Structure formats: structure tokens, C-alpha cells
Amino acid sequence: MDKNKQRRTMIIYMVTVILAIVLFNQFLWPSVLQSQVKRTNYSEFLSSVDASVVATVDLNRGDETITYTLRGDDSNKVIYETTKFPDDGTLVNRLEKHGVEFKATVPDTRAATALALLINFLPLIFFIYLGWRLNRTLKKSMGEDGTSMNFGGDGLFGGMGVGRSNAKEVKGEETGVTFKDVAGQDEAKESLAEIASFLENPERYASIGAKLPHGALLVGPPGTGKTLLAKAVAGEANVPFFSISGSEFVEMFVGRGAARVRDLFKQANERAPCIVFIDEIDTVGKRRDAGLMTNDEREQTLNQLLSEMDGFDNHKGIVVLAATNRPDSLDPALLRPGRFDRRVPVELPDLAGRTAILSLHAKDVKCLPGLDFGVIARSTPGASGADLANIINEAALRAVREGRSAVSQEDLQESVEVVIAGEKRKSTVLSEHEKQVVAYHETGHAIVAATQKGGAPVQKITIVPRTSGALGYTMQVEEDEHFLSTKQEMKDRIAVLCGGRAAEELIFGEATNGASNDIEKATSIAHAMVTQYGMSETFGMVALGQQRNRYLGGGTELTCSEGTAEQVDREVQRLVEEGHQTALNTLKAHRFKLHELARYLQKKETITGEEFMAIFTRDDGFAPKLQPQAQ
């Protein structure tokens, strides 16, 4: 804002204030005064006196007006006013005759003049003072180049905190987190350890000519520890840590987001070397479009962020760390080198990472010796660090409920089921027929899984209802972690998912709604085989869809014509039906074991994988010879 624009702003402000005061004095204030006094005519006043209803009368000798009150009229709170009739010499006699209390008042013109001046000029003085404070704030916020307008100082709006960044500053040692407190993210720690080393010992890198990265973008699913890693960098380097969420920049007031960005980097420059962490940066850093509405508050905030990251002196040691789980929505200008120089993936932990995370969180609770965290890690593929921390906490809570002073292996196993399927629903009581249907359904899953070559072994089968809505489930646990799946393995998974519905149709001759979740998962696998993995005999090695929101499970959006989409639907239907028929044929071949295991499960409600395999592999002379996978 230049000086001419500032002068125009102040002139407009003063003209508006004066106009408002004039209108107030001319129209609003007289109406307010008149609303307190009721005007009457002189004849009505005399009639009230003759009727002996007048209580008091004040004869004003200055302007010949008469004010009076009536008896019993709400404690004389209503004041009536009239003008005295000329040459009426009988008024005093009338008032004495009817017992009216009266007096004559000589007006104080000095007090009236002072009151008029106070009413007219006090608002003007007040607004002039506000204008002076506003003008002072504008001058102070302009800075050296006269282009910055920040209301975050001590000016008119400073007390309200408008324009301040609201970033939480934490000293490095007070974060309480270092890289020793982060597990399962070795690659991410290695990328960020260099930034911490640079902040801690910048001369070592400056001697070679290396420059400190301006920023690093932490990308990954929710709960993988992006914020924890940012705090660990500050803790390792022992530098101030400014933390703010992207949503705190965007407000309804125009220019406030940009002002907060400026204030944030101003604080960072004063406390350098330091780390600025912006969580959920996709809130403010979304891709700018080419539409007509290109001057909105979010875009101005993004432009200011780009300018600040491009312009701050990196020799001072300021690093911007940001976290998001929607990197595909970020503006390309934000991702170029010189702003966010590094993109650090913070993915879901693998088997070794899950084991390390469980061991790390278990240090905070009392555990019995000899706990096998590897079993829990194998039971939780796809779990994030937050999920694993919750599992440890649920195990500790269960140990307290059971009256134990330390966490056992049983507590850990049960906590996995609580996180995956929810608590046991003690209030849900299934009828014997429904329990029988669920038992055959879950046994169907288990038998189809057990007959597959190289499939995940069955660890547990239960028909106890859970709070997630499941009436039962079959748990399979891989011995080792796999990162690649063949086409046949995916078909086998679809067959396992179809095993429950196939068992219902085979034994009861009808289907229930209990297979809804199985159908959804089977369809999702078949759809991915056709559109993403090129495993369709009809389309071959062609991608027909594009994945959206990879880290938030957004699914696949088709990028083909309507005719091709119809063929995709038919191909997906064929793959699922193929799995359904495979499951039916498998259960028909093991009908006797299906009956035996379902009755046993219905009686015990929960059986282990060892119990299941002992019955399934037992040669009773009825079932076909079977070579199941090793447990």
C-alpha cells in the first residue's frame, strides 16, 4: 500500500465518519429523545387537570412549555409535554383547586449547551482517535518497501490477534522426541537425518558449498508418523519448532491468511535456525485452476507462501517441513525444487517395521516376559503406526479389566481383534438357526482357504458377533510378507471370499445378507485386476482407470469410454462368478468336513487354526485325500 492509497483511505474514512455523525444528530438522536416524551395539546392538558388526574406540573419559563405526569400512570414514568396557551392567567388557580403539585423551572442554558456539545462532538472525537490509530498501524505495517500490510502488531487490530500466525513454538529439547522414538520408518529417518545434521552443524556442509534444503514434504497415509518425524528432526537438531495446521491460514477475512504466512516466516527469521512445520498443507496448497474465481483467499495465501519460501535467506537455517496425504492435489509450483526440495514417503510399515513399532510402544507399559510381537505384526498387515500404538493400549486396558498387573500374549491377540473387528457384542444373541448359518458361512471361508496352494494359513475362526457389525470372521495370517501377487493368487482370494456364500447356498439352498462385505471385497479385487493390473483376458495389459487419493483409499476412476466400461463390468462379473464356482466345487468335494467343522464351531463358537487343521486333515474315510499348506 503506497502513501497516496493510504491518504485516500483515511480521507474516505473521515468523510464516512462525519456523514454518519450528521445523520445521527439530525434524525436518529431527536427521535430517541422524542420517544421518551409524549406530546399532547393544551386542551387535553386542561381536561386532565379538571378531571383531577394530573399529579405534577413543571412550568418551564424559558420556552413556555409545560411538562406533567398523571396519577397512577406507572409510577409517573410517562412524561407529557404541551405548549402553554398565551394570556392564560387562570392556570395556577386551576392547579391549586385540583390539588396539583406544580413548580416553575428556569432553564440552565450553560448545562444545555454543554450537553449539546457533548452529544454532538464526543462521537466525532472518538472516531478521530480510531482513525489516528488506524493511520499509525498502516504506517507501521508498510515496512521499508511500503508493500506489506500486516495487522499483527500492536496497532488497532493487534489486540484481536488478526493476522498473527498462531503457530505453536516449541523448543527443540522440549519436543520430547528424537529419532530413537520413531520406529518402522528407516528410509524417512535417513532422509530427514541429513536436515537435522545440517541444522546442527552447518559449517560442515558450507565448506563444500552444499545448501540447506528449503523444505521437505512428508507424504503418506494417515497415522504413519509424519508429525512425529517432524518433531524428531527438531529434537535431534535442538532448534525451535513452529507447528501450524494448513486450515489455520484460511479464514473468511480477505488477506488474513497471507498476513499469517508473513507473520509465521517473520517469527522464523527471528528464531533461526528453526523448523517450520505445516500440517495438512493440502488445505492451503491445492492446485490453482484457470477459472474466473482466481482471487480467492486460499489462492492469495498460497501465493504468499510461495513467495516466502522462495525469498527467505536459507543461510540462516530455516527449513519448512509439511505433511499431507493428498499430494496429487498440491500446486506444481509448491513442489518444484527451491521450495520443497525433497519428497519423503512415509508409507505403512512392513513386517519388520510393525514389529519394531510394537516393541517401541510396549516399553511404555508393563509386559510379561517372552511376548512374541512378530505374531501380532503378522496379524496386522496394512496397519499404521497409530493402529499399532492403539493395539498396545487396548492390550493394557484389557489387562486392567482382567485384574492383571502386566500385559500378556492373550491380551495382545485379543486387542488385534478389537482394533480390526471391534469389541464382542454381548447384547447380541443369535438364534440357533442364525448361529448355524454363520458357522457354515465361516467354515466355508476356512475350507476354501485351506485347500489353496500357498494361501495364508487359517489362524482363528469365530462366530461371536462384534461391534463392527460382523457376526463372525475367519482370520488368516501370512507366514511372511509378500509384496507381489500373481493372477492366480488374486483369483484364489476371490474364491475364499466367495466361500461363505457358497456354503450357505450348498447347505441351506438360499443366500443371506451376511456376505455383503465379502462381495464388496471380491468385486474390488476383480475390478483392480481388470482396470489396473492388466490381468484381464479381454483387455490384456491396458490400464483402464486412474487411482485417486491413493493414501486415503479413494479407489479407481475409470478413464475409458462408456462401451469399454460396460465390458469392464462384464469382465469383473465373470471373475467373481469364476471364484464363486471354484468355492462351490471345493465345498462339494469336502461336504462331510464342512458339516463336521460347522457343528464343532457352532458348539465352541471360537476355534484356533490348529483345531481347524486337526479336524480338516484327519482321515475319517469320507473326505478326499488332501495336502494342505504348512502351518
Positions marked active-site: 442
In the three-class reduction of DSSP (H, G, I as helix; E, B as strand; rest coil), residue 514 is classed as: helix
Whether residue 464 contacts residue 472, with contact meaning beta carbons closer than 8 Å, is answered with: yes
- Sign for the CA dihedral angle at 446, 450, 454, 456 comes to positive
Which residues lie below 8 Å from residue 29, measured CB to CB, with a gap of 6+?
119
Q: Which three cell numbers stand for residue 171?
A: 523448543
DSSP letter (8 states) at residue 606: E
What Rg value do the Cα atoms of the chain yield, rounded? 40
User: Do residues 528 and 548 lie in contact, with contact meaning Cβ atoms separated by under 8 Å?
Assistant: no
Inter-residue contact 210 to 269 (CB < 8 Å): no
**DSSP letters spanning 19-82:** HHHHHIIIIIHHHHHHTTEEE--HHHHHHHHHTT-EEEEEEETTTTEEEEEETTSTTTTSEEEE
Bridge partner residues of 57 (DSSP): 68, 102
Beta bridge partners of 170: 241
DSSP, collapsed to helix, strand or coil, labels residue 345 as: strand
Which cell goes with 601?
Answer: 464351531
Assign 168 to helix, strand or coil.
Answer: strand
Other beta carbons less than 10 A from residue 204's beta carbon: 11
Q: CA angle, corner 219, sides to 215 and 221, nearest 5?
A: 155
Give me the count of residues in the chain.
631
Quick one: angle between helices 516-531 and 562-589, nearest 10?
130
**How far apart, in whole angstroms, are the C-alpha atoms of residue 80 and residue 420?**
80
Cα–Cα distance measured from residue 392 to residue 502, given in angstroms and rounded to the nearest whole number: 37
Start-to-end CA span in the chain (Å):
75
Closest CA to 462 of 445, 448, 450, 478: 445
CA–CA separation, 204 and 200 (whole Å): 10
